[in-house]
Protein backbone atom coordinates (compact mmCIF):
# COMPACT_ATOMS: atom_id res chain seq x y z
CA UNK A 1 0.00 0.00 0.00
CA UNK A 2 1.65 3.19 -1.15
CA UNK A 3 1.49 6.19 1.13
CA UNK A 4 0.09 9.17 -0.71
CA UNK A 5 0.47 12.74 0.40
CA UNK A 6 -1.42 15.88 -0.43
CA UNK A 7 0.61 18.46 -2.35
CA UNK A 8 0.58 20.76 0.69
CA UNK A 9 1.85 17.99 3.00
CA UNK A 10 4.59 17.06 0.54
CA UNK A 11 5.62 20.72 0.28
CA UNK A 12 5.85 21.00 4.07
CA UNK A 13 7.82 17.75 4.34
CA UNK A 14 10.30 18.84 1.67
CA UNK A 15 10.82 22.13 3.50
CA UNK A 16 11.35 20.25 6.75
CA UNK A 17 13.92 17.89 5.17
CA UNK A 18 15.80 20.81 3.65
CA UNK A 19 15.82 22.63 6.99
CA UNK A 20 17.02 19.49 8.77
CA UNK A 21 19.98 19.21 6.41
CA UNK A 22 20.92 22.85 6.91
CA UNK A 23 20.66 22.72 10.71
CA UNK A 24 22.02 19.23 11.40
CA UNK A 25 24.24 18.34 8.46
CA UNK A 26 25.57 21.81 7.63
CA UNK A 27 24.59 21.13 4.03
CA UNK A 28 22.03 22.76 1.80
CA UNK A 29 20.06 20.45 -0.46
CA UNK A 30 17.55 21.25 -3.16
CA UNK A 31 14.03 20.05 -3.83
CA UNK A 32 15.24 17.15 -5.99
CA UNK A 33 17.45 15.60 -3.30
CA UNK A 34 14.88 16.29 -0.61
CA UNK A 35 12.24 14.65 -2.82
CA UNK A 36 14.42 11.56 -3.33
CA UNK A 37 14.92 11.26 0.43
CA UNK A 38 11.20 11.71 1.07
CA UNK A 39 10.32 9.07 -1.53
CA UNK A 40 12.84 6.68 0.04
CA UNK A 41 11.41 7.23 3.52
CA UNK A 42 7.84 6.74 2.33
CA UNK A 43 8.68 3.58 0.43
CA UNK A 44 11.18 1.97 2.80
CA UNK A 45 10.44 3.30 6.28
CA UNK A 46 6.77 4.24 5.95
CA UNK A 47 5.42 0.66 5.77
CA UNK A 48 7.35 -0.33 8.90
CA UNK A 49 5.86 2.57 10.88
CA UNK A 50 2.41 1.97 9.37
CA UNK A 51 2.43 -1.75 10.22
CA UNK A 52 3.57 -1.03 13.76
CA UNK A 53 0.79 1.53 14.23
CA UNK A 54 -1.80 -0.94 12.92
CA UNK A 55 -0.50 -3.69 15.24
CA UNK A 56 -0.65 -1.35 18.24
CA UNK A 57 -4.17 -0.18 17.35
CA UNK A 58 -5.28 -3.79 16.91
CA UNK A 59 -3.83 -4.78 20.30
CA UNK A 60 -5.49 -1.77 21.93
CA UNK A 61 -8.93 -2.67 20.58
CA UNK A 62 -8.51 -6.38 21.32
CA UNK A 63 -7.70 -5.57 24.96
CA UNK A 64 -10.86 -3.49 25.21
CA UNK A 65 -12.98 -6.09 23.39
CA UNK A 66 -11.95 -8.84 25.82
CA UNK A 67 -13.61 -6.98 28.69
CA UNK A 68 -16.49 -5.61 26.62
CA UNK A 69 -19.12 -7.74 28.37
CA UNK A 70 -17.89 -6.66 31.81
CA UNK A 71 -17.80 -3.01 30.87
CA UNK A 72 -21.00 -2.85 28.85
CA UNK A 73 -23.19 -5.51 30.49
CA UNK A 74 -26.66 -4.48 31.59
CA UNK A 75 -28.84 -6.74 33.71
CA UNK A 76 -31.83 -8.09 31.84
CA UNK A 77 -35.46 -8.52 32.92
CA UNK A 78 -35.27 -6.11 35.84
CA UNK A 79 -38.64 -4.40 35.47
CA UNK A 80 -40.42 -6.81 37.81
CA UNK A 81 -37.49 -7.29 40.18
CA UNK A 82 -38.16 -6.07 43.72
CA UNK A 83 -36.98 -2.53 44.25
CA UNK A 84 -34.70 -2.10 47.25
CA UNK A 85 -35.44 0.57 49.81
CA UNK A 86 -38.85 1.57 48.48
CA UNK A 87 -42.47 0.53 48.73
CA UNK A 88 -43.73 -2.25 46.59
CA UNK A 89 -45.82 -1.15 43.65
CA UNK A 90 -49.18 -2.77 44.39
Taking the C-alpha atoms of residue 73 and residue 50, their distance in angstroms, rounded to an integer, is 34
CB contact burial 25-54 (16+ within 10 A = b; e otherwise): eeeebeeeebeebbeeebeeebeeeeeeee
What residue ranges do the domains of the chain occupy?
A: 7-72
pLDDT, tens digit, for every residue of 40-76? Answer: 999 999 999 999 999 999 999 998 888 887 778 888 9
DSSP class of residue 27? Answer: -
Question: The pTM is what?
Answer: 0.68
pLDDT tens per residue across span 7-32: 999 999 999 999 999 999 999 999 99
**pLDDT score of 88:** 53
How confident is the model at residue 27, as a pLDDT? 97
Phi-psi region of 28 (alpha: psi -120 to 50; beta: other; left: phi over 0): beta
Amino acid sequence: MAISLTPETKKQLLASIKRYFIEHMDEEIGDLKAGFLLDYCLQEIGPVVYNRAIAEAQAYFQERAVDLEGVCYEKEFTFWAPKSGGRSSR
